[in-house]
Structure 1
């Protein structure tokens, strides 16, 4: 299972915020003046499929930079002093 850090949550939230209007416009464009059908939703869902693929690719190139990325330094064993 892939652990999702803050960067992953941020990426999903921003992606959803930007793609929701695009999805709505695609639904409107694909349906024209006709009522929305299942086929219209299937065509518009390609946008979300592309967004998922893009986000998976971005996870390999973006790094976590917040507190979750910082690790506590390892303490030397007591017998080394």
Structure 2
């Protein structure tokens, strides 16, 4: 005992408490948001309707393409 008392660190106790408090906080959040319903009733039916404007595809442009002029013939080789 000349060196003083031996301190043993068990560790890990704080982690367990933090995990349990986290789980409790998540459950309370689910109660407040209505995900977990303790009343037992079927809950509320919410009808959602979204009115969107009708979109039509644009018509194809009426572009007439005339054929290109024929290419000029290649010049004759000089050595020929």
| TM-score clears 0.5 | no
Larger Cα-atom Rg:
2
Structure with a larger share of its residues in helix: 1
- Tell me which of the two structures has the higher relative contact order, counting C-alpha pairs closer than 8 angstroms and 6 or more residues apart: 1
Alignment TM-score, normalising by the size of structure 2: 0.28
Alignment TM-score, normalising by the size of structure 1: 0.28
